[in-house]
Structure 1
Amino acid sequence: MRARVRNQGVPLIMCMLLLLLVATAQCRNEDESDFSTETETETEYTTTLASVESSTQPNNDKQLVYIENLQKNCHLKRGTVRCSGFRFDDIEKVAFFSLPTQVRIAPDGATYELGDKQHLGTLIMENSTFINFPLHLFYELPLLSEVDMRDCGMQYVSWEGFLAANKLKILLLSGNAISELGESSFSYASELEFLFLSDNKLSSPHPDAFKGLQNLIHLDLSDNQLEELPERIFHDLAALHTLIISGNRLRFISNGLLTQNTRLQTVILQGNQLQQLGEYAFSSAPHLLHLDVSHNAPLEVLVLNLNVVNLRARNCSLTRVNLFGAVTNVDLSDNRVQELYFSTSELLEDLVLRNNSLGQLATLSRVPRLRHLDVGNNPQLGELPTDWQKPHLERLDLSNTGLQQLPQQLLEDMPNLRKLNVSNNKISDIDPHDFKRLSRLTHFYIHANNWNCFSLRMVMDVLILQHGITYTPDKVDDDFMGSYIKGIACMYRLPEREQLKSQSDTESSASVEYSQHSDRDATSDVEMLRREFKAVVQHLEQKFDSVFAQLSSLNAKMNSLEHMNSSLWNQLTITV
């Protein structure tokens, strides 16, 4: 705005100017409410209407405390305003933004203009306290797209605070003490896309608290005190992609809670007190990428009909899991799962069932896309399916599953296997030639088993050391009665096949001489023990021979030293 007046003296000009500024302040529009920090130059000077920084007046049951100057508490840099030191810790007082209009007058005294607009897109409040969300903020700073008021001690948020917030896209209110959300609390911020309300004290929000937020993409309600969610609380959030409700006290998720949120991609429900999930609670989201219901101790049964890429349900109390629909990666570790069913197991790529109570894996007979399977710490599992279809399997963990041997067919059907863990089992013998098809094997963990030293030495020499395969040695125990081969503990005893041959020979002869059956059984047992004892004695004799050879070598060196010493004394002459 620019105007020219007749030259009748500076006092007349100033009077007219002040009258004009008063009228302008009463009719202030959005374009005149930008915060300006322009400095005085040689050719112009600045006059403001702000004579005080704050004043008060009653507004219903609370007082309005006017903020008329930001220069003392705020710093402007590249469209971002950082403010600190505001203290509105009286619950009966509400901050009200009312910023002054700035005017510049040319040196000739005949021209004036209002201050230029500044494009302030971000407001950050640091080390400040606002018990109530401030009023009139978006009238004074209409271009704000991001407001960060985390850790401000805020307790109350109402719809009045968001009038004219039609440019706001990101609102951060985490780390406050907000306990209630009324009806349509954010409806005037219709363009809001990211809303962070984590780490507050929300317990029972109004069913229409988020009404009007059709553009909201991300909603974080984690670490509050939510016990129940109204059925329609998310129905207006048609664009919602991410919903985080972890760390609350929820006990139930109904089938109708998310029916209108068809664009959901991520739902985080971990760390609640969930007892039940509706079977169709997530079926309305056909493109769900992540669902996490971990750390819900009361949850014992998980029956879901859904399509999801990543499903995590760790550390619950699950005993039965039935999944209907397309599921790609599943983590059910640290539960008590006994019953497991996948309607489309052929789509599985990553499955973690570690630390459960599984007794069989019949449901996994058809897993052609499976790349990673971890069933470690299921000591009752025992035998594995022999008809697995797993041509793409790359990592297999069978540690602590009660295995006594590895089926040859199991190894033949895994040409892409890179990592195999059979530690903490009862395996004593493995034929390294059974691994001839595992040409890509790079890691083979065999520690903490019941190894026969004869078989272990062959596995080490023919398979592990020859191909540079990584393994983990056992922890050395000084009281262990056996031996260590390349760091793996073992005991010397007859190979399993020789024991079986001896038993079969005994059974044959028993069929011919039935009358001596008992004597021959006893004789075979004694013979087997005698041969095992002989094998141990032979091993000890080898060690004794080695020690004796070293002692003999040491004795020879000592004799040589003694002979040298004797010769030296014979040639030594002492003169007195």
Structure 2
Amino acid sequence: MKFLFLVVCAIAALHTRYNGHAAQLRRVWMQDHCHHGICTGIDIGRNDYVILSQMPIAKQLMLTFLNSSIAKIPHLMFDTFPDLQVLRMENCSVEVFEKPQFEGASNLMSLFLGHNLLRDIPKNIFLGADNLHTLHLNHNQIRTLHNASFHALKELQEMSLADNQLAQLPLGVFAPLRKLLDLNLSGNRLSAFPRGIFDRNLNLTRINLSRNRFVAFESELFKLQPRLKLLDLSGNELQDLTLNFAVLESAICNNCDIRKLTVYGYVHDLELRNNSLRELPHIPHAANVSGLDLAHNPLGTLQGNPLRRFTGLQRLNLSSIGMHDLPEDVFKKQAQLKQLDISANSLYNLKFPLFNDLKSLQYFYFQQNNWNCDFLQLLMNSFVKKRDISFMEDTTEPELVDDYVDGVACWYESNKASKKCSGEGLSEAALELAIVRNDIKSFTEIVEKKFIKVYRMLDELKARL
């Protein structure tokens, strides 16, 4: 303990001599604040020199700080907790790193510093944390990285720099991270990368570039990453996008204003929600796509059988694409389809033969359309319930609909001439029944109004008497 105290005093004396004013020496007894790995109510200022404990605290593998204000990680943190493997100091107001910050942190494997006030990652700051596997620096104010910011992190596998203020990156910033698998750069101000920035990260499998300022994307940046599985480009300003990967499990490009998309190589899952596509992406190897999400694109009614090459589809989302009808043969090649979403369109009724090839369907979402009640009843009885397919109910206000069929809103149509999509889906008898039902409903409403008027007259007469 005497040696530890002398070290702290020496550091304080040096700090005083360097800055020309008295430095405050404080004792923070961790035993008073930490119980079962949870530390609360600790206040450490930027100029504080802290003695954390009278002696090292062994066998403490994880520490989480809650409701604390810690401007910097104390220098002696890892002398106090020599066995520490996981350190969580999230939302603690950490402002700065000071060398030698991670001396003695050879056992540290996971470091979570999200939601703090860091602005810079100094060079060589992680010396001593040679076995770190996970590093989260998300939701800080980081503007600057250096080529040696992550030097010594040769074992790092997961890093998050999400939601910072990075506008550019130096070429060699990720070069030391040879084992990096997962990199999250979402929510920054990046618009381009230096060529070759990922050339040393041969094991990279997941990269998130969403919510940046890219107007163009070059697949060449990842030409040396044969194991890349997930690429997220959502929330950028991409309009004409080309993806060229040998194999990519999932490409996520939501909210990008994409108007034209070409995909070379093999992509298994493609999310394209809320873009400006007026036609399906050009994918030479479309048979390998198992998931396709096209919701909230102005595709309209799918004419010309555009899905004929997507023979391996298992999940298809066509919600809110402005459909008024579905061609009879649109799902002719989708025998493996398990999940289909055609909700939030303007569908009135459909031709039943289009369901003949959907032999594997398990989930069918068709709510929020303009369904005719009689067609909807037939659809439920002869297809959905018969095959025990899961579906979702509507949340439409009751006064805005004519009826519900098993929780799905529908309307009766009195004008027979408006049955434009009936085809084989809705029989003449069903149409006539719909007209009769609507007439009965109209008649009932008239009678109800007359009864209301009669009751009102009786109430007035009773009041006079």
TM-score w.r.t. the length of structure 2 is 0.74
Match of 2:231 in 1: 291
* Contact 1:53–1:67 (CA under 8 A) maintained in structure 2: no
Shift of 1:64: 5.5
Give distance in 2, aligned partners of 1:424 and 1:119: 56
Rounded Cα–Cα distance in structure 1 between residues aligned with 2:182 and 2:366: 40
Pair 1:324-2:246 in alignment: no
Are the structure 2 counterparts of residues 265 and 148 from structure 1 closer, same or farther at C-alpha, using a change threshold of 3 Å?
A: same
- Could you say what secondary structure the match of 2:101 adopts? helix
Query: Does residue 85 in structure 1 map to residue 39 in structure 2?
Result: no
Q: Secondary structure at the residue paired with 2:287?
A: helix
In structure 2, stretches of 5+ residues that fail to align are 448-465
CA-CA distance at 1:199 after TM superposition: 1.9
Structure 1 pair 384–175 and aligned structure 2 pair: CA distance change class (3 A): same
Alignment of 1:208 with 2:167, yes or no, is no
**Does structure 1 conserve the Cα–Cα contact (< 8 Å) formed by 2:182 and 2:207?**
yes
Could you say if the C-alpha distance between residues 345 and 132 of structure 1 is closer, same or farther in structure 2, counting changes exceeding 3 Å?
same
Q: Which residue number in structure 2 is paired with residue 514 of structure 1?
A: none
Query: What secondary structure is seen at the aligned counterpart in 1 of 2:262?
Result: strand
1:168 pairs with 92, 99, 108, which one?
108
- 2:93 is equivalent to residue 153 of structure 1: yes
Task: Supply the distance in 1 between the matched residues of 2:13 and 2:49 (Cα, whole angstroms).
Answer: 11
Instruction: Give the direction of change, closer, same or farther, for the CA distance of 1:132–1:328 in structure 2 (3 Å limit).
Output: same
AA aligned opposite 2:29: L
Q: Residue by residue, what CA displacement relative to the aligned partner does 1:513-534 show, whole Å, maximum 9, x if unpaired?
A: xxxxxxxxxxxxxxxxxxx9xx
Partner of 2:366: 445
Give the 3-state SS of the residue equivalent to 2:170 in structure 1. coil
Q: Deviations over 1:55-104 (max 9, x none)?
A: 95342524665456626644464xx4736433324xxx242548556xxx
Inter-CA distance 232–71: structure 2 relative to 1 (3 Å threshold): closer
Task: Determine if contact 1:123/1:144 at 8 Å carries over to the other structure.
Answer: yes
Amino acid at match of 1:82: C
1:57 aligns with 2:57: no
Instruction: Identify if the C-alpha distance between structure 1 residues 326 and 76 changes in structure 2 by more than 3 Å, giving closer, same or farther.
Output: same
Establish whether residue 342 from structure 1 lines up as the match of residue 312 from structure 2.
no
- Select the residue among 248, 255, 279 that pairs with 1:315: 255
Shift of 1:542: 11
Separation in 2, partners of 1:172, 1:541: 64
2:292 paired with 1:351: yes
TM-superposition CA deviations, 1:516-557 (whole Å, max 9, x none)? xxxxxxxxxxxxxxxx9xx9899569957x989xx9xxxxxx
Rate the CA distance shift 1:490–1:268 in 2: closer, same or farther, 3 A.
same
Task: Find the counterpart in structure 2 of residue 379 from structure 1.
Answer: 300
Aligned residues: 425
Q: Distance in 2 between matches of 1:206 and 1:542?
A: 73
Q: TM-score normalized by structure 1?
A: 0.61
Which residue of 223, 241, 265 corresponds with 1:302?
241
Question: How well do the aligned residues superpose, as a CA RMSD in angstroms?
Answer: 4.5
Which residue number in structure 1 is paired with residue 185 of structure 2? 245
Partner residue, 2:318 = 397
Residue number in structure 2 paired with 1:489: 411
8 Å contact kept, 2:41–2:68: yes
Are the counterparts in 2 of residues 473 and 488 from structure 1 also a CA contact under 8 Å? no
- CA distance 1:223–1:144, shift in 2 (3 Å): same
Paired position in structure 2 for 1:70: 29
Q: Please tell me whether Structure 1 or Structure 2 has the larger radius of gyration of its CA atoms.
A: 1
Partner of 1:365: none
Tell me, yes or no, if the aligned pair for 2:297 and 2:320 is still in contact at 8 Å: no
Taking the aligned partners of 2:189 and 2:349, their CA distance within structure 1 comes to 51
CA distance in 2, matches of 1:150, 1:541: 63
Is 1:259 aligned with 2:216? no
Rounded to whole Å, the distance in 1 between the matches of 2:182 and 2:134 is: 10
Cα 1:214–1:539 change in 2 (3 A) is closer
Deviations 1:430-469 (A, max 9, x none): 554664554555647387458697x778667755676676
CA contact (8 A) 2:257 2:276 kept: yes
Q: Per-residue displacement from partner, 1:255-311 (whole Å, max 9, x unpaired)?
A: 422221111222222222222333222333222232222122x23232233332122
User: Structure 1 residue 388: deviation in Å?
Assistant: 4.2
Instruction: Give, as a single letter, the amino acid of the residue that structure 2 aligns with 1:88.
Output: G
